[in-house]
Amino acid sequence: MGFSQSLVFFNNQDTITFKENELIKINGQKYFYQKAIKNKTQIHLVESGLFRKEHITIDTSKIETFRKYKRFKISNSLQKAYLGFVTGVSTGGLYGFLGGSNGGWGNSPSEDIAVGVLFGMLIGTYYGTVLGTGGLVYGFISLGEDSISYSQKYTMKFDYRN
């Protein structure tokens, strides 16, 4: 059979390839793809748990839906960075405004509000930059899911080339 068999789903528009130890979601469950067995009618998967790994064999005709996980997807990291930036700006700005306006910095309430707005802008920008950078890094190391695919729309084969 060869040492490594990539699982390939294809149709006239795109091709989805799963290599050994690649994370895949089949019928709503997450597995690591291992290899083909029993004359290419079944696939060997590993369901990873917290403390143990469970080896599973599934018949290829039982695959209804599948998804591919993508690492280092730029849209995933930009989405996480944007979410982190917006969260940092809004919460940091609110805390800065509340802290600055209640500090008794000026002689009048309008001066306290002006100081609160200034503190809100500075702290919001700082927190937004920190959380946005953290979101960007997290987006690069986290897994992003591809869209759900239905097996009826694809043809399956095994590729033995590395």
Question: Model's pTM, two decimal places?
Answer: 0.56
Residue 142 DSSP one-character state: S
The per-residue pLDDT for 126 is 92
Judge if 13 and 46 occupy the same domain. Answer: yes
Judge if 108 and 56 occupy the same domain. Answer: no
**Kind and range of the H or E element at 32?**
strand 29-37
Judge if 13 and 53 occupy the same domain. Answer: yes
The per-residue pLDDT for 148 is 83
Q: Which residue, chain included where needed, has tokens 């998804």?
A: 67
The per-residue pLDDT for 36 is 80
The per-residue pLDDT for 1 is 41
Per-residue pLDDT of the chain (162 residues; tens, 9 = 90+): 445 578 888 888 888 888 888 888 888 888 888 888 867 788 888 887 767 788 888 888 888 888 888 777 788 788 889 999 999 999 988 888 887 777 666 677 788 888 888 888 889 899 999 999 998 888 888 777 777 888 888 888 877 665
Q: 64 lies in which domain range?
A: 6-69+146-159
Report CA-CA distances (Å) from 105 to 101, 113, 116, 124, 125.
8, 9, 9, 19, 21
Single-letter amino acid code for the residue at 126: Y
The per-residue pLDDT for 104 is 65
| Domain presence at residue 12 | yes
The per-residue pLDDT for 105 is 63
| 110 backbone dihedrals φ, ψ, rounded to 5° | -70, -35
